[in-house]
Amino acid sequence: MKTEIPRDHLKIKDVEKLSRERIKLRISNRGKNKINVARMKLERALKKRITIYGVNTGFGALLNESIAVQDQKVLQVNLIMSHALGAGSLFELPVVRLAMFLRANMLAKGYSGVRLELIQSMINLINRDVIPVVYTKGSVGASGDLAPLAFIALVLMGRGEAFYQGKRMSAKLTLKRAKIKPIQFGIKEGLALINGTEMMSAQAAINVIQAEQLINIADIAGALSLVALGGNIESFDDKFSELKPYPGQKISAKNLRALISSNSNPDSLPESGLPRGSIRQNAYSLRCMPQVHGAVRDGIGFARKIVEIEMNSVTDNPIVFDREIISGGNFHGQALALAMDNLAISLCTLSGISERRIARLLDTNLSGLPAFLIPRPGINSGLMMTQLLAASNVAENKVLATPASIQSLPTSANQEDFVSMGMDAALKANKVCENTEIVLALELICSCQAIDLAKRRLNRKLKKYYDLVRTVVPFFKKDKELTPYLQLLLCKLKTINSEKN
């Protein structure tokens, strides 16, 4: 995949490919010109002995420390060495790859004052699939993702560690094998590599991609559960969405009608369950799927909007404008923090309503089916544990849905006295994505088992998803170990495409 930078109108669909596929980047002529002009402006300002934060001053609370000319390059190296402090697990490689692309793309817009060589060095890592080892713990999401991005900068210097051809090794060895020369940072260049939100943005973008897949799976799982329980389709009529016109509600209602009706005509009868006009009302976890799933869709849509704005922003500091170089706060990740907290809350809701449908399917008093969806309950425990595992994940989601964006703790001797905690919000949201996927997979296992027990007839569209589940999860006539089937289904869910709306 080939692409030129800078890209000015990145969308989530663009970065989905960039995070997963090997890409070849190059800097456009327009980008080269802007990069060189900004560098000249920076050098001209220094010749005039203008004080520029992070170039001829210290960093953070050390901003009043003046840096001599002969020490200004050393300052940039020392910055990376001191700031590459992390702990915990490692970021997944697609997140790091995407963060590298986003940072290179931002620098190529020509507002940072770095040399063309620095950006080309970052591009060389991407083009040759050298992915730095980056720890998840270390960013408070305010002065940019200082620590995570510093680990990337370390590799450019030939320090730290990286993955190359599937192996983790020293950066020195990696660069040698990839035939990349380490770079020596010039003025401002260490700061320009780490003062931004690209690591948060990368994780947030991947969270949104996962969440958009999960909401479509939720519509499918919910439709299978409703058919299995003999539910009423009437409450999904488009007339309800006309009276409460949330965009997400309209999409989920349309999806559900298409999945459950004998064809896509909303006036058609369901092939199974109660006919239209029945006075019976489904429980909320079934009847209110358009309203609940729809609200989640709108929450995901909000997150998508914020992430796309952030990905296309200049988040460096200081910024080189046409006639001046100004220190500002575009590195602050509050918008991302709020978006990721909202995403976590939205998916917590989605996992919660799915768990309620699982419980309803398993309860013989509510489903009219054998207890725990197994022939000969008693000697067999059936799918009893699916609800326990779902409940465990939902409970953890509720803890993780506690906002990180309100948890500011001052750093850097109170110079950075209000931080976003955006990285924590993004990491929490990612874990909520994982938990929610497990819950939805469990619902699919239960709903397909219930459909077989109830001998429900499925339309072509819904049967396609039933068959997808059945390729890895059989009908259980007696107790079996369930974990292997769950893991196979989780892998299979990656292949489910978004519903066309």
- Over residues 118-143, the pLDDT tens digits come to 999 999 999 999 999 999 999 998 88
| Mean pLDDT of the residues in the chain | 92
For 259-298, how does the pLDDT look when each residue is reduced to its tens digit (9 = 90+)? 998 633 333 334 444 444 444 688 999 999 999 999 999 9
Single out the residue of 149, 210, 165 nearest to residue 16, CA to CA: 210
Q: On the CB side of 267, how many CA atoms lie within 13 Å of its CA? A: 0
Widest Cα–Cα separation across the chain? 87
Q: Which of 60-69, 97-106, 189-198 has the lowest mean pLDDT?
A: 60-69
pLDDT tens, 355-369? 999 999 999 999 999
**How are beta strands 87-90 and 2-5 bridged, if at all?**
unpaired
Provide the β-strand partners of residue 209.
Answer: none
Could you tell me which residue, 162 or 141, shows the higher pLDDT? Answer: 162
Q: Across residues 187-209, what is the average pLDDT?
A: 96
Evaluate whether 213 touches 257 at the Cβ level (below 8 Å): no
Distance between CA 121 and CA 99 in Å, rounded?
A: 15
* 107 CB-contact burial (10 Å; exposed 0-12 / middle 13-18 / buried 19+): buried
For residue 205, the model assigns a pLDDT of 98
Mean pLDDT of 183-203: 95
Helix (H) or strand (E) holding 218: helix 198-228
What positions carry a catalytic annotation? Answer: 53
Rounded to an integer, what distance in angstroms lies between the CA atom of residue 79 and that of residue 382? 58
- As a 3-state breakdown, the chain gives helix, strand, coil percent values, each rounded to 5, of 60, 10, 35
Strand partners, 270: 261
Q: How far apart are CA 46 and CA 49, in angstroms?
A: 5
pLDDT in tens, 367-387: 999 999 999 999 999 999 999
pLDDT value of residue 499: 43
Q: How far apart are CA 444 and CA 59, in angstroms?
A: 53
Q: How many angstroms separate the Cα of 291 from the Cα of each of 26, 191, 345, 374, 462? A: 45, 46, 15, 32, 21
Q: Which two tokens stand for residue 25?
A: 């980047």
Give which of 342, 319, 344 is closest to 329, Cα–Cα. 319
* pLDDT(18) > 50: yes
State the number of CA atoms in the 13 A half-sphere of 88 facing the CB: 14
Nearest 10 degrees: Cα torsion 494, 145, 193, 157: -80
Task: Provide CATH 1.20.200.10 ranges for the chain.
Answer: 205-315+351-495
Three-class SS state of 474: coil
Distance (Å, rounded) from C-alpha 259 to C-alpha 290? 13
User: Average pLDDT for residues 434-438, to the nearest whole number?
Assistant: 98
**CA separation for the pair 297, 392 (Å, rounded):** 24
CATH T-level assignment (fold) for domain 2-196: Fumarase C; Chain B, domain 1 (1.10.275)
Say which DSSP state 266 is in: T
* 205-315+351-495: CATH number: 1.20.200.10
The per-residue DSSP string of 267-312 comes to TSPBSSSBPTT-S----HHHHTHHHHHHHHHHHHHHHHHHHHHHHT
Write down the pLDDT at residue 280.
67
Closest CA to 354 of 219, 230, 249, 450: 219
- pTM beyond 0.85: yes
Tell me the average pLDDT across 202-226.
97
For 14-48, b where at least 16 C-beta lie within 10 A, e where not — what string? bbbebbeeebebebeeebbebbeebbebbeebbee
Cα 258 from Cα 499, distance rounded (Å):
10
Q: Is pLDDT of 210 > 80?
A: yes
Is the predicted pLDDT of residue 453 greater than 70, yes or no? yes
| Backbone phi and psi for residue 451, each to the nearest 5 degrees, phi listed first | -60, -40
Q: Kindly state the percentage of the chain with pLDDT values over 90.
A: 82
| pLDDT of the residue at 497 | 58
Report, as an integer, the average pLDDT of 397-416: 89
Of residues 453 and 56, which shows the higher confidence score? 453
